[in-house]
Amino acid sequence: MLHLALMFASVVIKYAYGRPPLPPLLMKHGCYLASSEVEIFRVEGEAVILSFPTFARVLEVRNIALPTAKYIITKENRTEAVALRGEGRVQQSNKQLWFLPARASDSGEYVCAYRNETYCVIGTIKLQVYESSRADMEKLSFPITATVDEKLTFRCPSISDFNSTDAQIEWFKESGSARLQPGTRGSFSSYNGSLLIRAVKQMHAGVYTCQLNVLINNQAYKVSRAILLHVEVAPSPTVPDLPVTSTPGPTSSSSYRTVHTPKIQPPVIILPLNGTIFETLHGSALDMFCQVFTDCRMADSTEVTWLVNGQSVASSYLDGRALQGGRRVSEGCQIDLRLILLAMTEEDVMTELMCVTQNPAGRQEVVTHLQLKDSTFTWLVVAVVASSCFLTVVSVFLYVLFKPKRKKKMDYFLARQHSTF
């Protein structure tokens, strides 16, 4: 009984003062399943490193550390590891998969499993490697939106997996082979590998490519990233339909004819709604989608991007903790763009997340904020219930311990009645 009481007391302390438990993970094929990573798009002939940051965060937050457990990365439904550790063109290095270099045939879904004989957790990621001549620049590029005369700084994104400390980063514009020459007098300047545009003009719009050479196993490999810069243009004024007047004849009067041309509607953000608050527990991941409905004729030219406090994700303080990607266009001309926050902290409270969409027909933006989920009331109720159970157990224990003993009835009077002396 005392052991039960102590157990209830520990439950009260845990729920009243400890962090609430995380929601359970889903299961797939007997393994616990973490949220999938943002899809990766790369060009063949370059070094590619697949890492699983969302998966790693799940293991860290839930304190999953298994004895004798190993990381095994496989492709699609195969049961064998993709490559031996440290050998061949495709190598597994601890929790990462290296392609030295990548080929178009490497495209597919990869699974990282952390497992031993009795327990396993898996994470998934999709990789699309394009032939250099058939590259889809819309998917390969990281979108950035700027306004005219804005001072803009952007750096080479998504290269943190490489040791690029001593690498020289070169910048190119469009498909030209001429390297940009950042200087103190020109439009561009460079600082620690970042590209700075002092005053953005419409001529600066386009695709920028940053390129560097990295050393892996003492061998040099090329790595490049594309950035699509869109410079905002004020919407063109709408020209009203003017009446066409015919010359009145002897038996006719003035007549008017209006010529209607089909108008393309600007894109509309369906989700999230303006003013939405995204909430999650401290240390938990947050998965968000921006859903945009657009005219089917404008689906390819409709841009959708997430901004953090008015900056691109790669340029914001969330770089490395937030991942943007996975653009998908459905048959109904709905565009989905995913944003994953790997772990919520106090620093992120009231951070402004803005979904921006635009095409030649117009522009729309929706402002949302981040917030820590307040679970005080819920867990206070749990604590009160647990306390009540604890007090009930203690009361029963004390009653049993100090219950007054009842005297047994003596039957000697009856025995004496039948006695013969």
The pLDDT confidence band at residue 110, using thresholds 50, 70 and 90, is very high
The topology (CATH level 3) of 264-372 is Immunoglobulin-like (2.60.40)
Percent of the chain residues past pLDDT 90, beyond the cut = 13
Average pLDDT over residues 84-104: 85
Span 23-134: which CATH code?
Answer: 2.60.40.10
Q: How far is CA 409 from CA 196, 247, 306, 405, 413, in A?
A: 101, 129, 86, 13, 10
pLDDT of residue 42: 92
Sorted by where each begins, the domain ranges of the chain are 23-134, 138-231, 264-372
Euclidean distance between CA atoms 156 and 222, whole angstroms: 14
β-bridge partners, 337: 290
pLDDT of residue 140: 83
Whether 266 and 304 have beta carbons less than 8 Å apart is answered as no
Measured from the Cβ of residue 157, the count of other Cβ atoms closer than 10 Å reads 19
pLDDT of residue 183: 57
Q: Which DSSP category does 29 fall into?
A: T
- Which of the residue ranges 47-56, 263-272, 274-283 has the most confident prediction, judged by mean pLDDT? 47-56
- Average per-residue pLDDT for the chain: 76
Residue 244: both structure tokens together: 């066409």
Domains 138-231 and 264-372 share a fold: yes
Q: Which DSSP category does 25 fall into?
A: P
CATH 2.60.40.10 fits 138-231, yes or no: yes
Residue type, 111: V
- Which of the residue ranges 10-19, 189-198, 343-352, 397-406 has the most confident prediction, judged by mean pLDDT? 343-352
Whether 144 and 230 have beta carbons less than 8 Å apart is answered as yes
Average pLDDT over residues 120-128: 91
- Asked whether the predicted pLDDT for residue 338 surpasses 60, the reply is yes
The pLDDT confidence band at residue 374, using thresholds 50, 70 and 90, is low
Chain segment 204-261, per-residue pLDDT in tens: 888 888 889 998 888 899 999 988 888 876 555 444 544 544 444 444 444 444 444 4
Q: Which DSSP category does 354 fall into?
A: E
pLDDT of residue 406: 55
pLDDT of residue 314: 82
Within the chain, what is the greatest distance between any pair of CA atoms?
156
